[in-house]
Structure formats: C-alpha cells, structure tokens
Amino acid sequence: MLNMNIAGKGVLLLGVFVAIGVIVLSEGFSDTSGNIDSSSVVENIQESNEEAVEAEEETPAADEEASTQETASEESSGPAQTEPVTSSESVLHPPSEVRVLVANGTDVGGAAGAIREVLISDQGYNGLAPVNATTEEIPDFSFVYYANGYELDARNVGLIIGVDSANVLPMPAALPVADLAEANVLVLLGSDLYPPEE
C-alpha cells in the first residue's frame, strides 16, 4: 500500500513536470516579444536598399555638376586659346606649294630671273615667270610681300635672298606689278640687292 502511494505520487509529479514543460514550451514558441519580426526586417532592408540606390543616383549627378563647374572655372581662368589661330603666321607651306613672283624694280637686266632660279633650283619653290616692276622709281630697298596665310613663307624667302625682315609685309593694295598671277609671295627687287650699273 505504501509502495502504491509512492508510485502514485511519482506518477503525479511526473505528470506535473510534463504539464509544466508543455506550458513552458508552448509559451516559448508563441511569445514573439523577444524575437525580431522577419517581415519588418525585410521591409527595413528594402528601404535601406532604396535609399542607397537613390544616393548613388544623386552622387554621379552631383559629381557631374562639380566637374562641369571645375571645367568652366578652368576655362575661364586659363588663357583664352579655344579658338584656332587664324593669323598669317600659323602655317609654313611646302616650298613647292608656294607660288613666288619676282619683280625686277632695278636697272639690272636679268636680276629677277636670277633670284627666281635660286628659289626654284636651290629651295624648290614654285617660281612664276619673272616680270619687271611697274614702279616709276627704283626702290632703295627690296621687299617681300605675302598673301594672307603666307607670312612664314615670305619670311623664309626673304632670308634666302637677303631681304631685311622689316621689309617683309602684307600684300599691298597698289601692287608694283601689272599682274600678280595668283602668286602667294611677291618679291620686289631694289637697289640694295642690285645696285645701279655704272
């Protein structure tokens, strides 16, 4: 009888413990106060991703604006060389492409032909047929005139034949020849290169 009571009490205690375990377990699974809601986690992650994407989209635009402002400030503070140089000094043409007309303004026969020969044979210029100048008086100095864009070529011709660089000038409105013959460079010989014959 005593054994039956002990056994009954043991079974009863065991039942109580099982019941308490079941209650604790069920309460543990159903209690979400200590756990993080997975749906809210997903929403938070999506919001963070959207904010990051928006920030990335705004950053290149801000960078682009900054680089544009930097470029503009560099252009405004730097030397104004955005336009191409269009002066006559910008190009030195190959001699064969430069038409040179030599006009004899002196009394020395064959002077223009001699200069033309030097320019053609020694330097490769496109020498036009020599002519006599239409000037009334013999010029004291020789001149080299150039058409627009041929200043460097005229200076080179002047160096070759020994004309003072101060006498290398743009083509005058009143030409010292009857026909320019589409020459790019005009040489007018004066008495400094060919003194009058005695």
Quick: pLDDT tens for 37-49.
Answer: 545 544 554 555 5
Residues β-bridged to residue 100: 127, 185
- What pLDDT, on a 0 to 100 scale, did the predictor assign at position 46? 53
| Other beta carbons within 10 Å of 118 | 15
Q: Which residue ranges make up each domain of the chain? A: 109-185
Residues β-bridged to residue 188: 103, 143
pLDDT over 70 percentage in the chain = 57
Alpha carbons 169 and 155: distance in angstroms, whole number = 9
- pLDDT tens track for 83-115: 433 444 458 999 999 999 999 999 999 999 999
User: What predicted TM-score, i.e. pTM, was given to this entire model?
Assistant: 0.55
Residue with tokens 């030409």: 175
